[in-house]
Amino acid sequence: MSRVNGTLFRSRDFGTIERFIEPCILLLLSREPTHGYGLMEGLEKHCGEKVDVGDLYRTLRRMEHDGWVNSAWDRKENQRDKRIYTITEEGRAFLKHAVASLKETDELIHHLFRGYQKVYPESNAI
Amino acid sequence: MSRVNGTLFRSRDFGTIERFIEPCILLLLSREPTHGYGLMEGLEKHCGEKVDVGDLYRTLRRMEHDGWVNSAWDRKENQRDKRIYTITEEGRAFLKHAVASLKETDELIHHLFRGYQKVYPESNAI
DNA sequence: TGCTCATATATGTAAATATCATATATCATT
DNA sequence: AATGATATATGATATTTACATATATGAGCA
């Protein structure tokens, strides 16, 4: 627990979406097959803040286990080995589902904004 | 793990926001002090689907511990005892912070939508 | 050569949260 | 007397996140 400007916070930030990294990964892999480390820059743009590297690699292995991505080693001379991930049809299906779910989430958020605006009209919630 | 229309899902639904119930509770309590059971109908409108009752009561006690709400027993004749929760100034501050965080979350979601629309133009993501 | 930094892929562990089940008790209605 | 709605909780487990650490290679430089 910490206190910022008089407001209490618990260890985790508020407002994050569980496993939001997964559709972000799938979208990036929809553009082109990439390895874990290479995904990071793009992910930071999509997911905001910093991406936990350990979380990223574990997520990729889990997504492979779930059948949403495939991986193959890219072994080249004068270059570190890279595990290249490719999106599967199942992965595209999940991404589509995720986008639909996020639309619902988005509606809930805006419902809250509207309610907040009503109760606290001086704020500019919307 | 389950499979719906060929798409794999893990046990939890995708797209849920961690502790989204908390700003929803605080918004409802901003309107009037209420007891746990009484919050449920309003919460289902705010949080979508069904609200886990056990989660609700545990969350309320945790929020009281954090100083965001106060509680007092309402003991009346011919009526079950109710623990009435009231929002505090700290609670209002957290609600304000939560709304601001959710605006950032909302931007991330829409960033993903725009990216999705680019890669899959036939979808109507936005 | 030895040093450091960026690249690259992981695992270990603990804490926070969600989910599902269960317990308990009262009031109103049948 | 039994059932269902009201009302407040706890127990156990699974899931996810956060933070730390391990390991190894290639590039650039003194």
Inter-chain touch B1–A30, beta carbons under 8 Å: no
Interatomic separation, CA of residue B11 and C1' of nucleotide D13, rounded (Å): 13
Is B97:B105 a contact under the CB 8 Å cutoff? no
Q: Does B27 touch chain A (CB under 8 A)?
A: yes
Q: Can you list the positions of beta strands (E) in A1-126?
A: 2-4, 7-9, 34-35, 69-74, 82-87
Domain ranges for chain B: 19-119
Stretch A25-53: mean pLDDT: 91
CATH class of A15-98: mainly alpha
pLDDT tens track for B25-55: 999 999 999 999 999 988 988 877 688 999 9
3-state secondary structure B36-100: HHHHHHHHHHHHCCCCCHHHHHHHHHHHHHCCCEEEEEECCCCCCCEEEEEECHHHHHHHHHHHH
Mean pLDDT of the A26-44 span: 95
Report the CATH number of the B19-119 domain.
1.10.10.10
Tens digits of per-residue pLDDT, B62-99? 999 999 999 999 998 888 899 999 999 999 999 999 99
